[in-house]
Structure 1
């Protein structure tokens, strides 16, 4: 049934993605899937007790702590320490809180570019200075060179892996090289691994915390893999003691926290949503191949459901994409296409873009 969704149905959805797609335009921009979330998530939310949760007084009683530890260990062989886990409403909030307590205005922060626009905006609005690590098209894939002199002036590195928007899944050697530089220059590494469960064979996600365990803060959420962005639930494995201490010193609830629906919905996804995820991953792999066939000579993503395409803005073609310049340095001349949709919708997207 996930592959039977049509444009008429989607056009009535009230969320941001389709609300912006007016006048018959197809939404292929913001990173929401068009697939409905897993039934176990819906059931968990519908049956939730919405009184004050017990973990409000006893954070260690939060059932998502154990679920996250078990899933991370079973998927990637890395075991987070339960007492290092903190909760946020979303990745942006977690990033901003960590930068607030661990860096100062004027500090330099490295990040691969082009990059996720809200991360770029966060660095600018918080008065930190971006040091780009440019993604480079070698002709066969996207890669990067490490400018060790530039990184020497940085306080922190934001590592998005799988990378958004290029879709790269960084290799063992690439991550090991970054870990070595982080060690040499005493960098705090904030690893956004929100797309970790959405990689394509033969590529494999490797947690950065397994390379630099004592200097890495890992950000995770079920929101991308299970299409749950509106639940507002994110996890940070704050394995760096001084950062954890600084976060805990803030006034209680100053940063907000996920509600019961977010916690229980995420728990249901991780504990009961894998059959749904397997079906979605198969559809995404097929869609990735369809996009690659429609745009020969460009690099299919190794992870995510986002294609980074060298093309002109298709304004007036009836497809809403994310403009490349929004992703900062290296974004000119590109567009980002979200292909997490049904076959009929994707076929129509590609038909319209064929006039490019």
Structure 2
């Protein structure tokens, strides 16, 4: 790109808009919580939306032939991630939360167990519980090399819990882990043994840092593909969450048949703007995305150095993907819990509260918080520059003299 559009963020523009990340904050508080980026959108997306507005083209969607969003999805999976989706099995919905809710209703019954790695994206946990299904947590544990989970005896554990579905978030939110082929194979083996439906949320797939590479779960083999619903969207990597467009690729025959019997009107249909913006993001925004990843990598390293220089151990592992940092504050002056709430008060920085990422489960994350670093280096420096003295003040208050 001709200039670095990621070097500067206009915080006042963000505060004056309609986005919850900044618009809901008290004056002076810096937003680093909701997983929206502070940047603009790719030029191709902006130009696409402007053309639609100039044509006043906001009617019911129509396209000759195959859905262009489905075509763009198929192309991106094949060229970027090495997986060829099954033709004719893609549905366009509004977001991955809706996709998960639909699949829960179609593939499970009230009381069934739904396995998911915990900590996890809070709306997913709420969706499972709200549907009357039981959350079966697969605890993410910290090792000397990063975050992982115990694969040994996995099928037996899931059988004992009456699981009928596995929800896989890969890359993982909030730890930023990119699961390896061996880890995914262990999950696939358990899913095959128990005949589980797998919903694989891969919305952060385009946000992996080298040398890590995203591996679509359905690409592990025909048997795995035949039980997997792949859910994704351009929203996270191209900053268009408000345009409400996502893709569900349904490999499972029974779920596809059940989905086909439900009228599309039951789910609603994403409009022209979200569809066109998604296609522009996936097909025409490679240069913008490359610039984004350079900035995110710089910010990721900044946080890594910051965490290493603190006098307290955050138990920190840099994310292998996403623009999210997962901090353990139990070894800091915030060890009493609710660190995000206390840091908003003490530092004027809003993080995502860790307890929300294990709601409804026996996993304890109340001492954690998540920081979103998808902002300019200058704003990130200000965020970290506020957090450090706030932690020091709290430490002195706990241990005066």
Give your verdict on TM over 0.5. Answer: yes
Q: Distance in 1 between matches of 2:14 and 2:184?
A: 39
Is it true that 1:245 corresponds to 2:249 in the alignment? no
Q: Distance in 1 between matches of 2:264 and 2:203?
A: 26
Say if 1:52 and 1:25 are closer, same or farther in 2 by CA, change over 3 A.
Answer: same
Q: Distance in 1 between matches of 2:107 and 2:74?
A: 24
Contact 1:161–1:191 (8 Å) recurs in 2: yes
Which of 169, 175, 178 pairs up with 2:184?
175
Q: Distance in 2 between matches of 1:252 and 1:90?
A: 15
Q: 2:102 is paired with a residue of what secondary structure?
A: helix
Measured against aligned partners, the alpha-carbon deviations of 1:238-297 in whole angstroms (never above 9, x if no partner) come to 011110111111133101121111110000111111110000000000000111111125
Q: Give 1 or 2 for the bigger CA radius of gyration.
A: 2
Is it true that 1:338 corresponds to 2:372 in the alignment? yes
Where does the alignment leave 5 or more consecutive residues of structure 2 unmatched? 309-314, 392-401
- Tell me what 1:162 maps to: 171
Which of 315, 318, 328 pairs up with 2:344?
315
Q: 2:319 is paired with a residue of what secondary structure?
A: coil
Pairing 1:1-356 to 2, within 5 Å after superposition = 1-48=5-52, 49-55=57-63, 60-146=65-151, 147-152=154-159, 153-211=162-220, 212-296=224-308, 298-311=316-329, 312=334, 313=339, 314-316=343-345, 317-328=347-358, 329-355=363-389, 356=391
RMSD: 1.2
Q: Distance in 2 between matches of 1:151 and 1:242?
A: 21
Number of residues of Structure 1 aligned to a counterpart in Structure 2: 353
- Greater helix share, structure number: 2
Q: Distance in 2 between matches of 1:168 and 1:240?
A: 26
Shift of 1:39: 1.2
Shift of 1:20: 1.8
Contact 2:72–2:283 (8 Å) recurs in 1: yes
Q: Distance in 2 between matches of 1:254 and 1:8?
A: 39
Shift of 1:331: 1.7
Where does the alignment leave 5 or more consecutive residues of structure 1 unmatched? none
Contact 1:221–1:234 (8 Å) recurs in 2: yes
Shift of 1:191: 0.1
